[in-house]
Amino acid sequence: SDIYIADVDGSNLRQLVNNPGNDLTPVWSPDGRRIAFQSDRDGNEEIYLVNADGTGLRNLTRNPANDGHPKWSPDGSSIIFNSNRGADSTDEEMYEIPVDGGSARLLVQLPGWDTYASIEPNGRRVLWRRVLNETGFDGNLGITGRNSEIFIMGRDGTAVTNISRNAAFDGWPSWSADGTRIAFASNRSGRFQLHTMLPDGTDVRQLTNAPGSFTKPIWSPDGTKIVCTRTLDGNVEIFVLVLPRPQ
C-alpha cells in the first residue's frame, strides 16, 4: 500500500510516496501543506509526515511499539495517535506528540483498546473509538464478548463518556468542521452504514442505506460533504457524500 493524491473529482491521480512497506491512513494537515500517515517501512508501525509534494519525509514517532491512526490537532501543532507502547503491549492507548519535535504524551490510561482518536475543532475535547469487554456485536453482527463504542472526554483526560451506547459495532468517529456533529460508522442497521449524531450522542441520523460497508468518514472543511470508503464484493473505493441542506 502506498499513498496517492487525486483531485476531488477523482482525476489527476498521482503517487505521493513509494516504498516496499505498507503506507496507510493518510490525513491532511489543517493548512493542506503536509500529510501524516502510518507505515511499517522501518519494521514496525510508525507515524510519518510528508509534504504535499512528496518531499520532506520524516518519521515522527520513532518508537519500537506500533503507532497508528494519526490525526492532526486543529492548529496543526501536534498529532494524536494510538499506540501499544505502554506496559501492556496488548493494550492500545492514545498519545499526542508535537510535530516539530518532543516526546509523546499519554492522554488517558484506560483498560482495553482506545483507537481512532481526533481532537475537537476548538481543541477542547477528544473523540475516539473504545473497545469494552462486554457483550456486543462484531463486524459481522455475531455475538461477541467485546463491544466497540464511541467515547468523548476532555483533552486533559477528564469526563470520559460513552456517547454511542449501543451493542452494535460503532467506530471511525469524525468531528464536523464546526464541531456541532459527529459522523461515524455502525452496523446497527444490519451492515456498516454512516450516521451522524450530536456530541452528547443524541439525534442519531443514518446517512447511507446502500449495498456494501461504508466506513472511515471525514468531513469537508465547509461541512457540506463527507468523504468515506465503501467496501463491496472485495473492492474498496472512495466515495463523496453530498449532505442535504438544513431545512
- Is the pLDDT at 210 greater than 90? The verdict is yes
pLDDT greater at residue 25 or residue 87: 25
DSSP reduced 3-state for 224? coil
* Percent above pLDDT 70 for the chain: 99
Among candidates 106, 153, 149, which has minimal Cα distance to 131? 149
State mean pLDDT over 138-143.
76
Mean of all residue pLDDT scores within the chain: 93
- Is the pLDDT at 246 greater than 70? The verdict is no
CA distances from 33 to 80, 100, 122 (A): 18, 14, 21
How many CB atoms sit inside 10 A of residue 222's CB? 8
How many CB atoms sit inside 10 A of residue 143's CB? 9
pLDDT greater at residue 55 or residue 111: 55
- Is the pLDDT at 85 greater than 70? The verdict is yes
Q: How confident is the model at residue 87 (pLDDT cuts 50, 70, 90)?
A: confident
- Is the pLDDT at 247 greater than 60? The verdict is no
Q: Are strands 4-5 and 14-15 parallel, antiparallel or unpaired?
A: antiparallel
Separation CA 184–CA 130 (nearest Å): 13
Separation CA 165–CA 137 (nearest Å): 12
